[in-house]
A and B are shown apart, each in its own frame.
Chain A
Amino acid sequence: MFEASELNIRNRKIESLFRILFLLMAGLLILPVAIILAILTYKGSSVISMNFLFTSPTEGMTAGGIFPALIGTIWLVSVALLFSVPLGVAAAIYLSEYARDNWFTRIINLAIINLAGVPSIVHALFGVGAFVLFFRFGTCILAASLTLGIMTLPVVIVSTWNALQAVPMAFREACWNMGATKWQTIRKIVLPNSISGILTGIILMVSQTAGETAPIMFTGAAFFLPQLPQSVFDQTMAMSLHLFVLATQVPGVPEDVPYGVAFVLIALVLVMNSLSIAFRVYLRGRKKW
């Protein structure tokens, strides 16, 4: 009475076929990541040493280390964060908690979508026009970081917005009905319960920022600058640009040095990400619903 019919058997086969197909597709995602990491580790790890990490490049960048670029990238990312996190989080809070669905809100949303779609080289040119020339910052960390910050704003806004929206409406209603203002509700309930999601957005932003090359190329990153930046008004070397330069512009660089630079860049991003993820997990553990 309950035996499988022809049709059942056929459907079961199709079912497993698709399951395997989708599994393969999803599994393929791991492949590029694994290959990249493997090659970088294989070819790059041999050049990694304290000396490589903590000295300046020498002999026309064919020898020595990457210290100025490493420090430069940290500068660029930090200043960009200082700019885009407060701005992006504030904008997301407005859109999620205050904005009503009207033409103004729709224009803001449209602007965010478009901002996300602008190619990075266009951001670079905008950065030159706005920060380097118009505001007369010159080519410096500030101009480069502001350019990076603007470029990553959509990531921060969208992920923060999603995190805020994930906080159940019932909590807000409970607060409002007790007479809490929107700000009291946001500060005491919404933000504490969405902070882990907001951090996710910031992690994404850090990764993207550290690796970007085009936006900093004309705005503040230098080809070769052995001394460290002293303030945001100095130029600086950066890992991503340094990698580009070593790989394409400088003759006589030993083959494994660019791999080493890439390895350090990725390691830097991974370390920053892991820290944020650890922080996130810690915060999520304290989540109370």
Chain B
Amino acid sequence: MIAEKEMTNAVETIGLNLWYGTFQALTDVNIQVKKGIITSLIGPSGCGKSTLLRSINRINERLGYVRVEGAIKVLDENIYARDVEPVQLRKQVGMVFQRPNPLPLSIRENILFGHKIHTPSSLKVSRSEANDIVEKALRQVLLWDKVKDRLKHRAISLSLEEQQKLCIARLLPVKPQVLLMDEPCSALDPKGTEAVEELIWDLRGQFTILIVTHNMAQARRASDECAFMLLGELIEHETTEEIFVTPRHRKTADYIEGRFG
């Protein structure tokens, strides 16, 4: 019971408005993403799901013409506070993309990349230490047994499913708390989708996972809570079961049943 009183939201937005130039992409979004579970974000294309995702690690601001109002709290800290270092934020909040984008390096170097950039170059990582990091991360994504004999191979030589798992694995050595996933399965075939979904489910509990998806079935079977967005607004956010069985809003029901989007 006491644990309940501790921080329960890993991510929380408060009155979040976001503009790309003059176009308002998010309007007064208030969402609470609970810690340690999987929350799916659904909604038609252009509804602001990806934009919301990309504001949570502040990668959006690289574009230069983005303006944000309101607050986003990650692990109870306002990430737009002046003393926030985006690099530290991005260490805590990892991102997985639609198309697997392993770096043009070996499998091993892909895993170590994140670790290296967050470690001062004066601090030499020993070989055995590095090996442990690689093995642990790859085991976490259920890839170790498949690739342990070809760690020096190019990451691009892996299948798409394995590449996507690798992209998840490379986030883990720096011990993030939140994983953002932008349609992580949409470039994969059904079998790959199943495997990656299984993995995501496997990671549940260790990380807070926020996953954008176009795939209703996926949202339904692979998330604890589900949020529906439309035209930059958060329409409804409930447990997944409630959203799919007894949606409160007409628009949610229409979308889920495939009447638009």
* Central interface residue in A100, A173, A174, by most chain B CB within 10 Å: A174
Q: Which residues of A pack against B, CB within 8 Å?
A: 100, 170-171, 173-181, 184, 188-189, 192-193, 287-289
Chain B: which residue is nearest A174 at the CB level? B101
| 25 chain-A/chain-B pairs, Cβ below 8 angstroms | A100-B64, A170-B97, A170-B101, A173-B59, A174-B101, A175-B103, A175-B113, A176-B90, A177-B57, A177-B97, A178-B90, A178-B114, A178-B117, A179-B86, A179-B89, A179-B117, A179-B174, A180-B113, A184-B117, A189-B103, A287-B104, A288-B106, A288-B154, A288-B155, A289-B154
Per the bound structure, the CA–CA distance linking A170 and B95 in Å amounts to 12
Chain A contacts of B113 at CB under 8 A? 175, 178, 180, 188
**Contacting pair A178 B99 (CB below 8 A):** no
Dominant secondary structure at the B interface: mixed
**CB <8 Å contact, A181 and B87:** yes
Judged by a CB distance under 8 angstroms, whether B48 is at the interface is no
- Asked if B232 lies at the interface with its beta carbon under 8 angstroms from chain A, I say no
Question: Bound state CA distance, A171 and B174, in angstroms?
Answer: 19
Residue positions of B touching A, CB distance < 8 A: 57, 59, 62, 64, 86-91, 94-95, 97, 99, 101-106, 113-114, 117-118, 154-156, 167, 170-171, 174
In the assembled complex, the CB of A196 is this many whole angstroms from the nearest CB of chain B, namely 13
Besides A170-B101, A171-B101, A288-B104, 17 more A-B contacts (Cβ < 8 Å) are A170-B97, A173-B97, A174-B102, A174-B103, A174-B167, A176-B59, A176-B90, A178-B94, A179-B174, A180-B113, A180-B117, A181-B87, A188-B113, A189-B103, A287-B104, A288-B154, A288-B155
Our pick among A171, A173, A179, A289 for the contact of B88 (Cβ within 8 Å) is: A179
* Residue of chain A at shortest CB distance from B106: A288
| Measured CA separation A178–B173 after assembly (Å) | 11
Contact between chains at A173 and B101 (CB < 8 Å): yes
Q: Are A179 and B154 in contact (CB under 8 A)?
A: no
